[in-house]
Chains A and B, each alone.
Chain A
Amino acid sequence: MAAPFSWIKPEPHGIYIPPADCWVDPSRAVDHALVTHGHADHARGGHGETVATPETLAIMELRYRTGAEDDAGEVPHKAVPVEYGETIRLKGGVDAIYIPAGHVLGSAQILLEHAGERVIVTGDYKRREDPTCPPFEVTACDIFITEATFGLPVFEHPPIEEEMQKLLGRLAAHPDRCVLVGAYALGKAQRVIAELRRAGHSQPIYLHGAMEKMCRLYEEHGVDLGELRLVADATKDELRGHIVVCPPSALNDRWSRRLPDPITAMASGWMRVRQRARQRNVELPLVISDHADWNELTRTIREVDAQENWITHGREDALLRWCQLHQRRAKALALVGYEDEDD
């Protein structure tokens, strides 16, 4: 019999499963990929075959034409949908089950089972309630491979309601200006819009052109975002007193000059640190993240209670230290290519 867990190998470009010849979230094109969610640092185009939730595959089709026919009527990059909770049998006797991760629409943790051993790859996750996706489910396993984007004790995300009140308060105080909210185009933007609706904001919300398709995709998957309009179709005066949502990269871009004296806001977990907000010239920092904060990371490790924790992309050092202090076995993986700057 093979050594325990020899069927799972962390490599620089992703987690490799030799018996199934399959990669989890590989950062380069491979023949067989299991993808946790649609963010570009986890989901890349060009895989021969991609196994993911139907929502994630819809996002990947939009971005990379995964699962779509080419001009010759062929499907060069195959899509294999798997519902939450459904078991899919891979080669070499490896089972994969996709479990909600609560990160963005379609996001999943992947539970891998082989020879009675259970490994979970979380991808990205959070523990807060989110109107755009089902909540993270704590699932028992032997090895828990967790993200650590906000793996420092300084990161504590406040309740999102408080941040919404900050945003709406500022908007109301400046009826002749607009509030420009920088938010990651997949997930963060739709969550912010949905939370604004929940907070009672029924005014139209204006979008940067790059946001439109993803918002429509969310709507097609049953997420109600209220009335959305494009900045491109509006005059400067029409935008006064309204919220405009754009990708973070557009915040200080020439594009924003067409807006009426915008108050620059950004929705990101990094906004907890004042200097991070200053570096991005943000006037109204909104501490809103789709990742687990420090308390959620440590709570999740305790609740999952795996024999061993592997920590990836983010501030591994601190979470590793916490595991040591709490007598939990842990190691850091050096995976490349994970970007976390825009969350």
Chain B
Amino acid sequence: MEEFAALIDALVYTRSRNEKLRLIAEYLKATPDPDRGWALAALSDGLDFPAVKSSTIRNLLKDRIDPVLWTLSRDFVGDTAETASLLWPAPDEPPSPPSVSETVELLSEMNRKSVLTELPKLLDRLDSSGRYALLKLATGGMRIGVSSRLAKTAFAQGFDVSVDQVEEYWHGLTPPYPELFAWAAEGADPPDIENLPTFRPFMLAHPLEETVVDLADYAAEWKWDGIRVQLVRAGGETRLFSRSGDDISATFPEFLEILPMNAVLDGELLVRGSHQGGEAGGAASFNALQQRLGRKTVSKKMLAEYPAFIRLYDVLLLEGDDIRTLPWTKRRGRLEALASRLPESHFDISSVVEATDFEHLAEIREGSREDAIEGLMLKRRDSPYIAGRRVGYWYKWKRDPLLVDCVLMYAQRGSGKRSSFFSDYTFGCWDGDPDSGADLLPVGKAYSGFTDEELKKLDRHVRSNTVNRFGPVRETDKSLVFEVAFDSVHESKRHKSGLAMRFPRIHRIRWDKPPHEADRIEALRALIAD
């Protein structure tokens, strides 16, 4: 565990991507199996110990230190694992650190009751850095500036194999990935995943910014507002995966017995309706889909009220053929041919948007707001299907955001890189005429859209304009206006204002604008798209 803890600390303090890759690769090469496999799983978010939650750690600490001091410390540090690692009382005995494998074994044996006695024993065997690494590993989501992709890239670089191949095998394997290390480090045969219903990494798109593309080279499709999914059938089993590769089959059981052939299909999961693109569009709003998301079991009523279907974008594997290297036009042809063999109740194809030239396409995109569509996708006709986000192949061309001027009301400290900065903002619109004493009603929250420099200024603004404190939340004097950008706004019973914004972010900070000139709630309500 000492080497792993040292790696975690080094990664925390390293900014250079190359240096991070080097550090991880060196560790993976120098560490024996299965420790390195577990470490790789930890770095790529592949570990989950249901018994150990942030709240578990909080409760353990509150038994050992005054709860008020704990809360103040946690609030300042901005990270539960780190706060706990710093505050854990030094044990009487010198540390006798467990190996990574032993740690994983002990953690996976814990249940919600035993964790209260067993986790402290483990913490007592480690120094402060070791405790930090342990708690990060145990609660998942390391937040140390290492993405799952970076960890896999380091693995690939360390053992001189292709990262695309690592991605390909990844989802068919489980920690500590013995087959993966045997293949990459010892030259054994690659893992066999052909007959497994495993997730294949998605091809993703870049935002189209200043670029103009030639429609002779690119095809356009609508960008549907659902969730991107992959439906896989292999080895007699069908599974549905979300964009991040999470298995969501149980939430959408209607797709599990319906695919008549082995295939890997890429598409948008939507609910039947007429919100997006009208009757012809055939899809309900994202809000409707949201009723179905995140459920462990699905009632018949749900299935009937919110019937889901997949609007197909692409096909990756079909009846034993890997067709990802074929150009998009060829794959599109296979997809169209395939469509007739799929039940219409559950599938259709994302149609190609025809336009005479780019300008014409731009006009069509302008109209997409009335059709309640997010925007367009542009796909190069000769593009193979490549995992990840490659420049030049696929673009997303969202319609311009909506804008509204809001007043900053509350601010909360962020976590991770922004710990101790007031970086999460709740803002409101006027519920009437502010000059006749109307109040502000909170309408949304945003955490992004500003630079680091602006964050510092905003933090200073919050600190020097605080009128009230509620734990980690500061109420400000409501003197600052944000121009907030968002994709759409919907009715919502969850919020006091009755409105919920989709993807709100700070577009501009209007240091110059007096707060009474911010927008009224009616202005926002007029933009409702439901």
A pairs with B: yes
**Contact residues of A with B, CB < 8 Å?**
152-154, 156, 272-279, 281-285, 315, 317-318, 321-322, 325
Q: List 20 A-B contacts (CB under 8 A).
A: A152-B69, A154-B76, A156-B86, A272-B86, A273-B419, A274-B12, A274-B79, A275-B82, A275-B416, A275-B419, A278-B145, A278-B417, A281-B15, A282-B13, A283-B13, A315-B76, A318-B69, A318-B73, A321-B68, A322-B69
Known contacts A153-B69, A275-B78, A278-B417; 6 further A-B pairs (Cβ under 8 A): A153-B65, A274-B12, A274-B132, A275-B79, A284-B13, A285-B13
Q: How far is the CB of B129 from chain A (nearest CB, A)?
A: 10
Residues of B within 8 A of A276 (CB): 419-420
Interface residues of B in 49-84 (CB under 8 A from A): 65-66, 68-69, 72-73, 76-79, 82-83
Cα separation A282 to B68 with both chains bound (whole Å): 30
Q: How far is the CB of A308 from chain B (nearest CB, A)?
A: 21
Cα separation A152 to B14 with both chains bound (whole Å): 27
Are A154 and B66 in contact, with the CB atoms below 8 A?
Answer: no
Q: Which of B68, B69, B420 contacts A275 (CB 8 A)?
A: B420
Closest to A155 in B: B86
Q: A283-B14, A285-B13 are in contact. Are A275 and B417 (CB under 8 A)?
A: yes
Q: A154-B87, A272-B86, A273-B419 are in contact. Are A278 and B13 (CB under 8 A)?
A: yes
Q: A273-B419, A278-B12, A283-B15 are in contact. Are A318 and B77 (CB under 8 A)?
A: no
Cα separation A322 to B69 with both chains bound (whole Å): 8
Residues of A within 8 A of B68 (CB): 318, 321
Q: How far is the CB of B64 from chain A (nearest CB, A)?
A: 11
Residues of B within 8 A of A321 (CB): 66, 68-69, 72
Q: A275-B419, A283-B15, A325-B66 are in contact. Are A315 and B82 (CB under 8 A)?
A: no
Residues of B within 8 A of A156 (CB): 86
Nearest 10 CB-CB pairings of A with B: A275-B419, A154-B86, A318-B72, A154-B73, A321-B68, A283-B13, A274-B12, A152-B73, A273-B77, A153-B69
Cα separation A278 to B145 with both chains bound (whole Å): 10
Residues of A within 8 A of B15 (CB): 281, 283
Interface residues of B in 100-146 (CB under 8 A from A): 132, 145
Q: How far is the CB of A311 from chain B (nearest CB, A)?
A: 13
Q: How far is the CB of A99 from chain B (nearest CB, A)?
A: 30
Interface size class of B (residues with CB under 8 A): 20 to 34
Residues of B within 8 A of A152 (CB): 69, 72-73, 76
Residues of B within 8 A of A318 (CB): 68-69, 72-73
Q: How far is the CB of B70 from chain A (nearest CB, A)?
A: 8
Are A154 and B12 in contact, with the CB atoms below 8 A?
Answer: no
Cα separation A274 to B129 with both chains bound (whole Å): 10
Q: Which of B9, B13, B416, B418 has the most CB of A within 10 A?
A: B13
Cα separation A277 to B420 with both chains bound (whole Å): 12
Cα separation A206 to B289 with both chains bound (whole Å): 63
Cα separation A271 to B12 with both chains bound (whole Å): 12
Are A315 and B417 in contact, with the CB atoms below 8 A?
Answer: no
Q: How far is the CB of A296 from chain B (nearest CB, A)?
A: 16
Residues of B within 8 A of A154 (CB): 73, 76-77, 83, 86-87
Q: How far is the CB of A78 from chain B (nearest CB, A)?
A: 33
Encode B1-31 as 1/0 by CB contact (under 8 A) with A.
0000000010011110000000000000000
Are B86 and A279 in contact, with the CB atoms below 8 A?
Answer: no
Q: How far is the CB of A258 from chain B (nearest CB, A)?
A: 19
Q: How far is the CB of B167 from chain A (nearest CB, A)?
A: 28
Are A277 and B73 in contact, with the CB atoms below 8 A?
Answer: no
Cα separation A321 to B73 with both chains bound (whole Å): 12
Residues of B within 8 A of A315 (CB): 72, 76
Q: Which of B13, B66, B79, B83 contacts A277 (CB 8 A)?
A: B13
Residues of B within 8 A of A273 (CB): 76-77, 82, 86, 419-420
Closest to A274 in B: B12
Encode B403-426 as 1/0 by CB contact (under 8 A) with A.
000000000000011111100000
Closest to A321 in B: B68
Cα separation A158 to B421 with both chains bound (whole Å): 25
Interface residues of B in 411-447 (CB under 8 A from A): 416-421
Q: How far is the CB of A21 from chain B (nearest CB, A)?
A: 29
Closest to B452 in A: A279
Residues of A within 8 A of B416 (CB): 275
Residues of A within 8 A of B87 (CB): 153-154
Residues of A within 8 A of B66 (CB): 321-322, 325
Q: How far is the CB of A303 from chain B (nearest CB, A)?
A: 21
Q: How far is the CB of A339 from chain B (nearest CB, A)?
A: 11
Q: How far is the CB of A146 from chain B (nearest CB, A)?
A: 17
Q: Which of A274, A283, A284, A285 contacts B82 (CB 8 A)?
A: A274
Residues of A within 8 A of B145 (CB): 278
Cα separation A282 to B15 with both chains bound (whole Å): 9
Cα separation A13 to B192 with both chains bound (whole Å): 72
Residues of B within 8 A of A274 (CB): 9, 12-13, 79, 82, 132
Residues of A within 8 A of B421 (CB): 279
Closest to A270 in B: B420
Residues of B within 8 A of A317 (CB): 72
Cα separation A317 to B145 with both chains bound (whole Å): 31
Q: How far is the CB of B417 from chain A (nearest CB, A)?
A: 6
Are A279 and B72 in contact, with the CB atoms below 8 A?
Answer: no
Residues of A within 8 A of B417 (CB): 275, 278-279
Cα separation A274 to B65 with both chains bound (whole Å): 21
Residues of B within 8 A of A277 (CB): 12-13
Residues of B within 8 A of A282 (CB): 13
Cα separation A274 to B421 with both chains bound (whole Å): 14
Q: How far is the CB of B135 from chain A (nearest CB, A)?
A: 12
Cα separation A273 to B77 with both chains bound (whole Å): 7
Residues of A within 8 A of B419 (CB): 273, 275-276, 279
Cα separation A153 to B71 with both chains bound (whole Å): 11
Q: A273-B82, A273-B419, A274-B82 are in contact. Are A153 and B13 (CB under 8 A)?
A: no
Cα separation A276 to B417 with both chains bound (whole Å): 8
Residues of A within 8 A of B78 (CB): 275
Closest to A336 in B: B464
Cα separation A274 to B82 with both chains bound (whole Å): 8
Residues of B within 8 A of A278 (CB): 12-13, 145, 417
Cα separation A285 to B86 with both chains bound (whole Å): 15
Q: Which of A282, A285, A321, A325 has the most CB of B within 10 A?
A: A321
Q: How far is the CB of A336 from chain B (nearest CB, A)?
A: 9
Cα separation A277 to B418 with both chains bound (whole Å): 11
Residues of A within 8 A of B420 (CB): 273, 275-276, 279
Q: A315-B72, A322-B69 are in contact. Are A275 and B77 (CB under 8 A)?
A: yes
Residues of A within 8 A of B82 (CB): 273-275
Q: A274-B12, A278-B12 are in contact. Are A153 and B73 (CB under 8 A)?
A: yes
Q: Which of A274, A278, A325 has the most CB of B within 10 A?
A: A274
Closest to B76 in A: A152
Cα separation A154 to B416 with both chains bound (whole Å): 17
Closest to A154 in B: B86
Closest to A324 in B: B68
Encode B214-227 as 1/0 by CB contact (under 8 A) with A.
00000000000000
Cα separation A285 to B14 with both chains bound (whole Å): 11
Cα separation A274 to B9 with both chains bound (whole Å): 8
Closest to A285 in B: B13
Cα separation A333 to B73 with both chains bound (whole Å): 20
Cα separation A318 to B132 with both chains bound (whole Å): 23
Cα separation A273 to B415 with both chains bound (whole Å): 12
Cα separation A274 to B420 with both chains bound (whole Å): 12
Closest to B12 in A: A274
Cα separation A215 to B476 with both chains bound (whole Å): 43
Q: How far is the CB of A158 from chain B (nearest CB, A)?
A: 10
Residues of A within 8 A of B69 (CB): 152-153, 318, 321-322
